Chain A
Amino acid sequence: MQIPVLKRAVAALFVAVVVSLASRPAMAIPAFARKYGLPCSACHEAWPKLNNFGQTFRDNGYQLGNDRDAPIYQNPSYFPSTVRITPQWHMENSGRTAVDAVPGNASSGLVESRNIRSSGFDLSGFDLWTAGTVSKNISFLVLPSADATAAFHFESFWVRFDNLLGTHWLNLKVGKHELDLPVSEKRELTLSNDGANYQVYHFAPGNPLLPLGNGQVNGFGLGNNQLGLELSGHSHNSYTRYAFSLVSNTDGQPNLPSSSGYDFYAHLSQAVELPHMGLQRFGVLGFRGVVPTYFQTANGAVISGSGAGDRSFYRAGAYGIWYLGKFDLSTVFMHGQDSAFLATGTPSTQVLPAGGRSATWNGGFAELHYNPNPQLVLVGRYELIRMAQQGFPLGTLLTNNHPLFARFGNIDNYVLGYRWYPIMISRGGLAWHQEYSWLRSLGTAPLSGLNVAGSSYMMGFDVAF
């Protein structure tokens, strides 16, 4: 009974992981540059990636500690909101895809196309936001974000009580917030469809599209903004940092769609300055979450928020960010496990399919930046995911009648690109962006069971004001 479910899902299997979210806002806030009279490069290694000065500013609740922090600060050059959009040309190669043998004829049977290519001018999503201080030591951020068709959602909204009890070791954030990840996915330097996501932040071995019980989907991603509380703190210069989040298990969706379970995230890091090399940071992180395995229904229809039978999953990681003069290398390792019920899509009220067990995986990426001057950055990244244990016994037949094998679903991804910032002032930013990315998952072709390799190429202007 479980097997057909698995089969149905195979076409989409793992693809969910690699489909990039239509609008994934990336953060850079020229409103702050205008407020403080600083160039983008003061806070960003290369925007939107923060440097330690920018990180410290953020950790302080968007306060620099000088005369301009006051929320009433006004200046003709200061326009307190920020917009960002990236008009672009891009080309997407899907890799092996199932298509009707006769286009338009659903009964003609499916065949596998080697590739579907599309290209053209396009828009990115659009961010419209404001952030700053409501009063001294109370900061906020509001970010409604639209996809390319201008459908808005709240990407992020929070208030933060800074420096509680007069110490920067205690700050409390309430609302929808970015988890304090080792390398921010909201401020990364890659934008293309296959290159914009860190796979380790979204991968779910338990098959993200597998309908659980009554259709619940475990679409959790560390990289998605989550709803809840964050307690964080940092040393004066942010060399030592910690963050602890307690969030609803809705993967950041408002309106309490799943169950009343809670997820926890913790991150601890330390930076040291090595002579003549720069700042080196290393840290550890962990996330433990739960997902309902079935829902209450009324006449068969799912009652939102009634999820039950929570089963857990966790992610654990360690990382280092290494600077050597104008080079820096981010190395992140992650290990993940989803419980057997999640990995096999079994409601907790039923027995596990024969041989069903938890699914585990290891993954990681290394991202190299070369930043010869504040106006240019070269980016290269290689990322991989390796299944350590499949949730179903090896040999289980998939929809395409190919047997499940140990490496099924492994992912390889590389990205190459550069950003050039001809305008680097304290009013706004303009970057010319060019990027190529390639992504392959093992054995996931819908019919042939071969590997699926797709790629994206994009170039465009990234504009933030």
Chain B
Amino acid sequence: MHNQLRFIIAAAALLAANAALAQDAKVGSLVGDVHQGQQVYRRYCIGCHGARGDGLGDNAPWVDPKPRDFTSATFKCRSTPTGTLPTDEDLFNTIGRGLHATAMPSWGALTKQQRINLVAYIKSFSPRFKEEKAGDPIPIPAESPATAESVHRGAELFQKMNCWSCHGKQGHGNGPSSVGLTDSKGFPITPYDFTSTSQFKCGEGSHDLYRAFMTGLDGTPMPSFADSLEPSAAWDLVHYVQTFGTSKGRVKPVPAGTIRASAPENRPSPADSKDKAKAGGGSEQQ
């Protein structure tokens, strides 16, 4: 009798634990399943992000930047304000896109169902997803025309908002404040080198760039400028940042010296000299 009761209680506890684990995820008509997500995670993700989701997988020592620790629920790529949880769709998109210039590849070759299952499973690593709701996606007003004037205004904002202090005047990521930056886990981090590519971690579209500085990349020194930038100014910055990239761009390249700052960086840094070597060799080496 007693034993039976104990069994029932144990079974109930197990069910409750399972229910708690059943962190759902939804994007459109896709619904994620935690348990199936776990299977997919074991196959593809465990080597970097670790069995406990703490970013300490077998390969983590050889990966830089380090794989994300999911237990803290801090994510770089969000559509939601800084400090809030990402939406399921944010995570879903990140998994499909991968994080450019890191070891995290695009998992777009997995089925959508596998990806939404992964979202559900990743969320189960942090209690925050049970306690809080995802933030509300920031509004993104219609993009202003990418004219030369817009680029010009963006260039001025790049100065005024001190973007250059980290990203460097020529976007090489070697501004004076770039030295010794660390992320929230204490690992060294360098500001994005805008000139190396036209791809960004959180997407390459202009909306993705807009989001990057209006939501910030949480867990990194890249802050959110939502409080200090008007939407129209943010679009100007988007257009300016896009001129750095290697893609032919939507905006015609502007003559050096007019808009792109051509002055040498204020202070040489190790990153700086590396950068120079790169620039010296012509446009783009491997």
Interface of A toward B, CB cutoff 8 Å: 36-39, 41-42, 52-53, 55-57, 64-68, 70-72, 75-77, 135-136, 236-238, 273, 275-276, 278-279, 373-374, 425-426
Answer whether residue B230 sits at the interface, using C-beta atoms and an 8 A cutoff: no
Residue of A nearest to B36 (CB): A325
In the complex, chain A residues whose CB is within 8 Å of the CB of B100: 66-67
* Residues B109 and A55 in contact, CB atoms below 8 Å apart: yes
Residue of B nearest to A427 (CB): B58
In the complex, chain A residues whose CB is within 8 Å of the CB of B106: 64-66
* Residues A37 and B62 in contact, CB atoms below 8 Å apart: yes
Which of B43, B108, B111, B286 meets A41, CB within 8 Å?
Answer: B43
Q: How far is the CB of B119 from chain A (nearest CB, A)?
A: 16
Which of A37, A56, A273 meets B59, CB within 8 Å?
Answer: A37
In the complex, chain B residues whose CB is within 8 Å of the CB of A279: 111
Cβ contacts A to B, 24 pairs, < 8 Å: A37-B47, A37-B48, A37-B63, A37-B103, A39-B43, A41-B44, A53-B107, A53-B109, A53-B110, A57-B109, A65-B98, A66-B103, A67-B100, A70-B286, A77-B59, A77-B62, A136-B286, A236-B108, A238-B109, A275-B113, A276-B113, A278-B111, A374-B43, A426-B47
If the complex has contacts A65-B106, A72-B286, A279-B111, are A426 and B39 also in contact, measured as CB distance less than 8 A? no
A-B CB pair tally, cutoff 8 Å: 82
Q: Which of B53-100 contact A (CB under 8 A)?
A: 58-59, 62-63, 98-100
If the complex has contacts A38-B47, A67-B101, are A237 and B62 also in contact, measured as CB distance less than 8 A? no
In the complex, chain B residues whose CB is within 8 Å of the CB of A273: 111-113
Answer whether residue B105 sits at the interface, using C-beta atoms and an 8 A cutoff: yes
Main secondary structure of the interface of B (DSSP, over half): loop
Q: How large is the interface on B (under 10, 10 to 19, 20 to 34, 35 or more residues)?
A: 20 to 34
Q: For the complex, what is the distance from the CA of A68 to the CA of B59, rounded to whole Å?
A: 14
Q: For the complex, what is the distance from the CA of A56 to the CA of B105, rounded to whole Å?
A: 12
Q: For the complex, what is the distance from the CA of A275 to the CA of B33, rounded to whole Å?
A: 13
Residue of A nearest to B96 (CB): A237
In the complex, chain A residues whose CB is within 8 Å of the CB of B103: 36-37, 66-68
* Residues B48 and A67 in contact, CB atoms below 8 Å apart: no
Interface of B toward A, CB cutoff 8 Å: 39, 42-44, 46-48, 58-59, 62-63, 98-113, 286
Which of B58, B107, B113 meets A278, CB within 8 Å?
Answer: B113
Q: How far is the CB of A339 from chain B (nearest CB, A)?
A: 41
In the complex, chain B residues whose CB is within 8 Å of the CB of A53: 44, 107, 109-110
* Residues A237 and B108 in contact, CB atoms below 8 Å apart: yes
In the complex, chain A residues whose CB is within 8 Å of the CB of B39: 373
Q: How far is the CB of B58 from chain A (nearest CB, A)?
A: 6
A41-B44, A278-B113 given; 8 more Cβ-contact pairs under 8 Å: A38-B47, A39-B44, A66-B102, A67-B101, A236-B108, A238-B109, A273-B113, A425-B47
